[in-house]
Amino acid sequence: MTDRGNLGVLPRTTTLADESYLDFLESFRDVVLTKMFPAMAAAGHARMQQDGLPLDDDSLPLETIQASFAKAAIVPTWQRFMRSQQEMSWRRTRQSFARTMDAQLKLLEETEKAGPGKLVIDPAFAVPAYARREIHLQPGGYTDDPISGIVYHYGTKVFYQGGNDQDEMHAELAGLATPPADGKMDRILDLGCTIGQGTIQLKQHFPDAEVWGLDVGEPVVRYAHARAVKLGVDVNFRQALAEDMPFEDGSFDHVFAYILFHEVPIEVIPRILADVRRILRPGGTFSIFEFPSASQHLPPAYRFMIDYDSHNNCEPYSLGFVYADFHGMLKDAGFAISEGPRSRNDFLQSIVATKP
Ligand SMILES: C[S@@+](CC[C@H](N)C(=O)[O-])C[C@H]1O[C@@H](n2cnc3c(N)ncnc32)[C@H](O)[C@@H]1O
């Protein structure tokens, strides 16, 4: 096996060649997103104006926007680059860690019962079909590849263009979690925690709290637990459904969810909101950092990009979310809502939902 150690809290790929290849893709992705996307957006908007279309009319059909954007030469190039860098990045990341598959699995098994925190896996748990999609084109998705935890970890290093190598973004977001008005934060849940980066950071911000991470994906929570054990952080993980949580009524002070909702079918969202309300105690808060939804104006280039991403980056549920009245859904679930603190990622909306 090739263990090249870690870079801080980030595992290294198994060969230097993989690391160099993925470094290139990381820089390439950065160019495609930060330099090429604004140029693509400007060219598309210019085409719309030439076609006599307004840029601030949210009722404009998407097909009309797409027809104008299709006339800008940069658009298909941007689309090809977006898709290919994503495919190349996941393929190489998976290949790299598959070389040490046996050792990875042994480590997960050995740490399963280790502490300080615990891991709860229910052998009878059945993953619903909707959660088994290869979101972001990751092979096997969150649920069907036994090493999807480490693959997701390094894959999202590239995805975040190196900006989250040491969980910096999760540290920022955990610092923006809004406690209940009385300040009591004894029990916190990170909903849709994936590999527990936010879960660990919530514990760093609220060291006296009992912190849980919950996710539908067994391989990702197993990796989250092994990682927390290695870092010596006392957090707990559980494989379960956000819409059917194995927790007592009123047993949490705070629930935190970062980019969960755009990855679940729209019809499941009310069930998740009802269950979050159930497990929160009166006055408990729910901090949500998420894709934009219908209550916000989106420039046409963003609508074009989100539609492209949904179809070409396997985000099958994001369009349903982006066009839904998420604020209305929260109110219907019985929450009082207010705008939450903004993060550096200004694409994300921030909501604080409070159980009365
Ligand atoms: C984009 S990831 C969330 C990222 C994560 N919060 C973080 O801090 O990096 C979405 C996660 O939600 C999980 N998920 C999707 N549907 C779920 C459900 N119904 N119940 C629990 N987890 C779910 C997925 O398995 C995935 O790990």
Q: Domains, the chain, ranges and CATH? A: 6-115 (no CATH), 129-354 (3.40.50.150)
Task: Indicate the burial class of 3 (C-beta count within 10 angstroms; 0-12, 13-18, 19 or more).
Answer: exposed
d(CA 218, CA 132) in angstroms, rounded, equals: 11
pLDDT at 2: 67
Q: pLDDT by residue (tens digit) across 269-317?
A: 999 999 999 999 999 999 999 999 987 788 999 999 999 999 998 989 9
Centre of ligand 1 from the C-alpha of residue 301, in Å: 26
Which residues of the chain are modeled with pLDDT < 70?
Answer: 1-2
- Which residues make beta-bridge pairs with 188? 211, 254
The atom number, within ligand 1, closest to the CA of 196 reads 8
pLDDT at 298: 87
Whether the bond between 38 and the residue before it is cis, its omega within 30 degrees of 0, is no
Best of 122, 142, 212 for a ligand 1 pocket test (most atoms within 8 Å of beta carbon): 142
Best of 138, 157, 215 for a ligand 1 pocket test (most atoms within 8 Å of beta carbon): 215
Helices 300-312 and 62-69 pack at an angle, to 10 degrees, of 90
Task: Indicate the burial class of 79 (C-beta count within 10 angstroms; 0-12, 13-18, 19 or more).
Answer: middle
Q: Whole-model pTM? A: 0.96
Centre of ligand 1 from the C-alpha of residue 212, in Å: 14
The atom number, within ligand 1, closest to the CA of 258 reads 6
Contact 185, 206 (CB under 8 A): yes
Ligand 1 site residues, Cβ closer than 6 angstroms: 131, 142, 170, 192-194, 197-198, 215-217, 220, 241-243, 258-260, 263-264
